Amino acid sequence: MSRPHPAPAARILVTGGAGFIGSHHVRTLLGPGGPAGVTVTVLDKLTYAGNPGNLDPVRGRPGFSFVKGDICDRELVDDLMAAHDEVVHFAAESHVDRSILSSAEFVRTNVLGTQTLLDAALRHGIRTFVHVSTDEVYGSVDTGAWTEESPLLPNSPYSASKASSDLLALAHHRTHGLDVRVTRCSNNYGHHQHPEKVVPLFATHLLDGRKVPLYGDGGNVRDWLHIDDHVQGIELVRTGGRPGEVYNIGGGTELTNRRLTDLLLDACGAGPDRVEYVTDRKGHDRRYCVDWSKIRDELGYRPRKDFATGLAETVAWYRENRPWWEPLKKTMETNP
């Protein structure tokens, strides 16, 4: 197993850095124990999923700057790329239900936005471009787990747009030699996650005394990855991954949605009467599961956060941070 070497000082452009995962990556880079000599610029359009407050813990830190803007803005992206060494690309439309209702913005942001970034990275000789993707590009798997060599068989407009961006990123490596590294993660959970996602949606509903909407028979299976472990994996790939390679990042906790719901009911002190079964989502993938032995064997990755602890901490965070999520839920319900 090869271990990553300490990375040289870097000026890192983080796209989508005001969102759930991107902001945690930024807080990790600039927080205690973060890599030395790193400066970070966040580029974020601040759509509904981007929250400036997510960056408050690092806003006053030396080496941090924020730019409000669109990754499809060629001139802005070009200017920013010229002043940076590395890119970690989180910016994406990511909510499957929204993509089913309307896919145009997903194609624009996830495909054309990624293409704009890649072309600028090539023009300005970016040292490393980490493209953050999802296990959903593989489609559904009944048994076993996807490896990085598994075919891409996306089933939703969201996952199709992410698969397209993955292929564009890898093509820039194969055609031009750009150092692109792709990560594909399983389902994330943790603090600061927008309440449209299942864990914070159910937790905040239950904390408000409401019922939770469970799709279909609740038998859909997901592997759960705490945000701390995801960011750990991204940093291992950024600092020690190989150009042109894909790395799956898994959490090691596989649950049916029904079992996840039961755990959230217990964590919130609620009973089974608070579950409302609703019509299943169109094209709902039955099971996701990634084989993450490659990042384990090459880079020493291991999930560190056990699920019971991570879920308890997550529910506690939402219980204690109503001022953060209540306005978001009001906006969701006013503008569904």
Written as one string, the DSSP assignment of 43-101 is EE---TT--GGGGGGGTTSTTEEEEE--TT-HHHHHHHHHT-SEEEE------HHHHHH
Dig out the tokens for 284 from the structure.
């709902």
As a whole number, mean pLDDT of residues 34-60 equals: 93
pLDDT score for 334:
77
Half-sphere exposure of 251 (CA within 13 A, CB side): 28
Q: Which of 85, 86, 135, 229 is the catalytic position?
A: 135
Catalytic residue check, 135: yes
Active site residue 93: no
Catalytic residue among 93, 136, 229, 285: 136
Q: What is the pLDDT of residue 6?
A: 54
209: left (phi over 0), alpha (psi -120 to 50) or beta: left
pLDDT per position as a tens digit, 125-141: 999 999 999 999 999 99
Computed over every residue of the chain, the mean pLDDT equals 93
Which residue in 303, 16, 211, 7 sits closest to 132, CA to CA? 16
Tell me the domain boundaries of the chain.
Answer: 10-187+227-252+284-304
Asked if residue 183 has pLDDT above 60, the reply is yes
Active site residue 48: no
Task: Look up the CATH superfamily of 10-187+227-252+284-304.
Answer: NAD(P)-binding Rossmann-like Domain (3.40.50.720)
**pLDDT reading at 45 higher than 60:** yes
Residue 96 has pLDDT above 80, yes or no: no
Per-residue pLDDT averaged across 308-328, rounded? 97
pLDDT of residue 281: 74
pTM surpassing 0.75? yes
Catalytic member of 158, 247, 288, 301: 158
285 near 220, Cβ under 8 Å?
A: yes
> Residue 152 contacts by C-beta under 8 Å, 6 or more apart in sequence?
137, 138, 139, 163, 166, 167
